[in-house]
Structure 1
Amino acid sequence: MPSQLSIPCETLFAMIGHPDCPRVIDVRVDEDFEGDPRLIPGSRRRPFQSVSDWGLEFKGQSVVIVCQKGQKLSQGTAAWLRVRGVDAVALEGGALAWASLGLPMVPHAMLPPHDNGSPTVWVTRARPKVDRIACPWLLRRFVDPDAVFLFVPSEDVLAVADRFHATPFDIEGDDLLWTHKGASCTFDAMLAGFALQIPALDSLAVIVRGADTGRPDLAPEAAGLLALSLGLSRLYQDDLEQLEAGLKLYDALFRWCQEAMEESHGWPSASRSR
């Protein structure tokens, strides 16, 4: 039976992508990590040796600790975090169990350079509509919960990326990694690059692609997403405020793709007593 000091892989996977997902911290030793340099979606690497220092950052939060097998390193780190006031548990079976179940893992090599304790930084064009909200949502929910987004004039994106060590996305350029490729959009590129093979994300990607590339025929929901996105861009003049509002929109769409695609709604209600 699972212990209250640990969480099964399947339980954690069901929580990933949702705004109330616990923070996931990978404390594998370098040798183990180099043997499989991939991360559970949304997780960050931290050294277990200095948990007494960085643990204070997560006070009052829920955290899942990942080591190679879910034994001494994760249990010890979780115990230290609980001393610091963190609701911490270990992942049952660790990274090996997660990988053995075929659950998605993000290739570490695809992440922009950053220190273990610092967020990734991304830059794109100001006044976002579809892709430039969908991609930050994907990054925050599945890659880096602390990701920072800079919105600047189109002509300044690459210069800002260079000067501020940020990763550009959703701008034109054949040599850029995170942008449109053929008929696909930047959201598609990120799903592929970060190996996020999750059915609900695949369904969401079709809607985003249809809304972002003028293809409402791809999914009935694409036209609605475009309408909501354009409405948000007019409700908010501040791009960061618009992003925060847009995150909730994509949270709802992702949940719909997971659980409610087959549900219909009509009037009178089918459950109405006769």
Structure 2
Amino acid sequence: MDINQLQTFLRVSEYGSFTKAAEQSFISGTAVMKQINRLESELNLKLFNRTATGVQLTPQGKTFQPYVHQLLDLLNTAVEETRRVRTDDKQIILLGTSLLHPADPFMSIWKKVAPDMPKFQIRLVQLQEDLNSSNREYAMLGRSSDLMVGTFDSTTLKHAFSATKLGSYHFGIAVRSDHPLAQLEEISFSDLAHQKVLMVPTGISEKNDLLRQQLLEKVPSVQPIDTTGRYDINTFNKAVEENIAMISLTPWKRIHPNLVTVPLKTDITVDYGVLSAKLPGKKTADFLHEFIQINHPKISQ
């Protein structure tokens, strides 16, 4: 029995469905079912009755549920108290960072406001990935990190995230340095005629969907090449190895040394900011409240 199984148990009991619990956990319904089956097997208890329309707690499950809440609350309290002792009563906020989700935009602001928030301390942690999730690093919010800097729109936020806006990223086209487009100072849609353009599939980001729609309407000869999901380092390698253009964003200009990013002429931008879980816990919620108050009205939620 592990923490993930207990958290999954609570999600399933809340939503009454393996599928809905899976959506909130960013894993497959099959993975959720396996976790619950394993938990029931290890405990030798039947926690849920399975039906064609969903699942319901058994009497054993109903008895077990409040103890799970108490156990996880106690664990959170233990972790918070331990961190407080180690850091002279400062509350540690874990800020995830990675190649694709750099923490720099937040840290530049934090350096200025840190003296006004003396009870908090930022600790940078490497963002981990949930390989069973289409949102990978986002799915680990509230688990391996309290906060991260990332892009968002309603497609992102309809899941389990909240966002505090810091600014907007601009689109660009990343190409190999020997690609003809690399010589331009700015790329227009017409410059992409008959080009293969690497981009995320539809349904992941509203802004990417909007950009794709406008691009194809104005330049039907463009050939979209879909990635398997959100970008990872393999996406940048693919653009280099196949020498094709790739939709890029402001913070990714220097990810791959063999790629040059040229600004794309478009009014479409992508909001970015500090992301947290919908239910981030008191410590993180208090931090965000103070952070927003100090930076208001520059930062909006």
TM-score bin (small chain): under 0.3
Bigger CA radius of gyration: 2
TM-score by length of 2: 0.23
TM-score by length of 1: 0.24
